[in-house]
């Protein structure tokens, strides 16, 4: 089972700033199997990015994903107030089928 | 717009079986998607429980496999979760999800006598 480690645990930034969130895997895998989710307080998570870099429907272009192998990054180019939330990276493994999540990065207002 | 709605008891006694249902609207459960259950204990992260395809094929998290059954009811356009031998560690928000692009609002299940 692949273990995902997200850093930092908490990121304190101001609106308008750039956010860079990291997700590191315990072993290399195909980037098609990496996704990013956002969870606002009191809400269900929502899909931001699939396949490491493909924005989901309706996701603003200030969100971008990159990376390969064991190191993946979610970047928010200019923070809006609604972006302060929890972010999870997620891996899909096919042998056997298993979805695993990082422990999350909390993005909070500075 | 696909919508998912979880339903089931909010309080379950230890050792009993948790049963939840997810009603799908705005789309067919017979579409070529996988339908998952995911849970989140209060203040903690996400855990994938398992998934089902309308063909009946299932995949389960190995950590829960011995206690989990996910089934589909195509006529009712819904799928269900059964989790046996419940303990306090199963207290969580339970979400039903279509292939991670559509999520239900979640239902909080508390395990307590």
* Residue pLDDT, tens place only, B85-97: 999 999 999 999 9
**Interchain pair B45, A103: CB under 8 A:** yes
When CB atoms are compared, the residue of B59, B103, B105 closest to A97 is B59
Q: How far is CA A27 from CA A24, B27, B52, B108, in A?
A: 9, 37, 27, 34
- Give, for A17, the enclosing helix (H) or strand (E): none
pLDDT at residue B35 above 90? yes
**Interchain pair B62, A101: CB under 8 A:** no
Distance CA B68, CA A39 (A): 26
Distance CA A81, CA A58 (A): 17
pLDDT interval class at A78 (50, 70, 90): very high
Q: How far is A104 from chain B (nearest CA, A)?
A: 7
Three-state secondary structure call for residue B76 = helix
**Interchain pair B36, A45: CB under 8 A:** no
Beta-bridge mates of residue A67: A72
Task: Report pLDDT digits (tens) over B52-103.
Answer: 999 999 999 999 999 999 999 999 999 999 999 999 999 999 999 998 999 9
Q: Which of B82, B101, B75 is nearest to B23 (CA)?
A: B75
| Over residues B96-113, mean pLDDT | 96
pLDDT at residue A97 above 90? no
When CB atoms are compared, the residue of B45, B47, B106 closest to A44 is B106
Q: B14 and B86 in contact (C-beta within 8 Å)?
A: yes
- Give, for B34, the enclosing helix (H) or strand (E): strand B34-40
Q: How far is CA B87 from CA A39, A97, B37, B91, in A?
A: 26, 25, 18, 8
Q: A87 and A2 in contact (C-beta within 8 Å)?
A: no
Q: What is the DSSP letter of A56?
A: P
Q: Is A48 on the interface with B (CB under 8 A)?
A: no
Q: Is B106 on the interface with A (CB under 8 A)?
A: yes
């Amino acid at each position: 089972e692949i273990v995902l480690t997200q850093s930092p645990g908490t990121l304190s930034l101001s609106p308008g700033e750039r956010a860079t969130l990291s997700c590191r895997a315990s072993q290399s895998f195909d980037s098609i199997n990496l996704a990013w989710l956002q969870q606002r307080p009191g809400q269900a998570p929502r899909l931001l990015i699939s396949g490491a870099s493909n924005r989901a429907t309706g996701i603003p272009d200030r969100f971008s994903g990159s990376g390969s192998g064991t190191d993946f990054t979610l970047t928010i180019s200019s923070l809006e107030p609604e972006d302060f939330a929890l972010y999870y990276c997620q891996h899909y493994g096919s042998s056997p089928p298993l979805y695993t999540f990082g422990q999350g990065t909390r993005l909070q207002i500075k | 717009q696909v919508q998912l709605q979880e339903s089931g008891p909010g309080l379950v006694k230890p050792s009993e079986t948790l049963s939840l249902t997810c009603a799908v609207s705005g789309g067919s459960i017979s579409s070529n998607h996988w339908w998952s259950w995911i849970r989140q204990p209060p203040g903690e992260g996400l855990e994938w429980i398992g998934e089902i395809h309308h063909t009946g094929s299932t995949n389960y998290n190995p950590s829960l496999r011995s206690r989990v059954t996910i089934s589909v009811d195509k006529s009712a356009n819904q799928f269900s979760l059964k989790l046996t031998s419940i303990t306090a560690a199963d207290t969580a928000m339970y979400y039903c999800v279509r292939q991670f692009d559509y999520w239900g609002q979640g239902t909080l299940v508390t395990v307590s006598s």
